[in-house]
């Protein structure tokens, strides 16, 4: 009887252990399922927050452009010109996407510039110019609150740097300036020269081409300037399509 009792006791203990293991397994599965559910909910919440932030930023970008009828469509054109240059240079799809989005938001920091400066018809005072030179840093600060903009921050921050180191905000020189910012600088300058502004009419294309040539090595990366000059001289229909689409 003692042997039988011992076997039955072991069987009962094994049954208890099996039941406990099954209970723990089910509990772990339930917790794992809940963790996956919470992770999904957190991702969805993050996406909703990012979408809302993107909508707000897009509203700010639009607000900047509609303040000045002379710069309406500027960001869209800069974006298209930059992608056109990048395509001619053989950039990757990822780099072209960053150029496209960076071009759209490069001037978002001007939301912090008063109309009295943005819309001024005459020459800016030194104080006013110093104020407008802050817009790359303001734009970077606005966009840095969402990781979705991380890739374009160098474009926003450095598109007013000059190849010779005399630009702003950090006086970077040559290859110290991120490539996509150097491309955007050429696109931005071209649109400024080829558009009417409060203080002048748009420049003739021959004048613009000469200005870009004159700026090689000082304002502009010489290689990028040459690529864009080639586009202006030999593929201007592509430029014309962009200008007609974003008036």
Catalytic positions are 110
| Residue among 175, 170, 146 nearest 157 (CA) | 170
The CA distance from 230 to 150, in Å, is 31
Q: 39 is written with which tokens?
A: 């992770």
The CA distance from 118 to 71, in Å, is 10
Side-chain-side CA neighbours of residue 28 (13 Å): 6
Cα 31 to the center of its chain, rounded Å: 39
163-167-171 Cα angle (round to 5): 85
The CA distance from 137 to 170, in Å, is 10
The residue with tokens 């592509």 is: 238
């Amino acid at each position: 009887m003692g042997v039988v009792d011992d076997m039955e006791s072991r069987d009962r203990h094994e049954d208890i252990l099996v039941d406990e293991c099954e209970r723990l397994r089910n509990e772990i599965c339930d917790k794992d399922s809940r963790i996956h559910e919470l992770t999904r909910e957190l991702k969805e919440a993050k996406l909703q927050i990012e979408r809302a932030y993107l909508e707000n930023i897009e509203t700010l970008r639009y607000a900047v452009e509609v303040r000045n009828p002379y710069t309406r469509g500027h960001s869209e054109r800069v974006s298209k010109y930059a992608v056109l240059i990048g395509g001619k240079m053989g950039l990757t799809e990822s780099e072209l996407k960053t150029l496209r989005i960076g071009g759209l938001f490069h001037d978002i920091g001007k939301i912090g510039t008063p109309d009295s400066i943005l819309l001024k018809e005459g020459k800016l005072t030194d104080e006013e110019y110093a104020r407008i030179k802050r817009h790359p840093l303001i734009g970077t600060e606005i966009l840095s609150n969402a990781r979705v903009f991380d890739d374009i921050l160098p474009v926003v921050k450095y598109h007013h740097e000059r190849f010779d180191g005399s630009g702003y905000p950090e006086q970077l020189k040559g290859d110290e300036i991120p490539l996509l910012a150097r491309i955007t600088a050429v696109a931005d300058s071209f649109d400024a020269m080829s558009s009417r502004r409060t203080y002048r009419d748009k420049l003739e294309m021959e004048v613009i081409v000469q200005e870009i040539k004159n700026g090689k090595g000082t304002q502009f990366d010489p290689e990028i300037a040459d690529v864009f000059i080639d586009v202006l001289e030999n593929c201007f229909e592509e430029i014309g399509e962009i200008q007609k689409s974003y008036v």
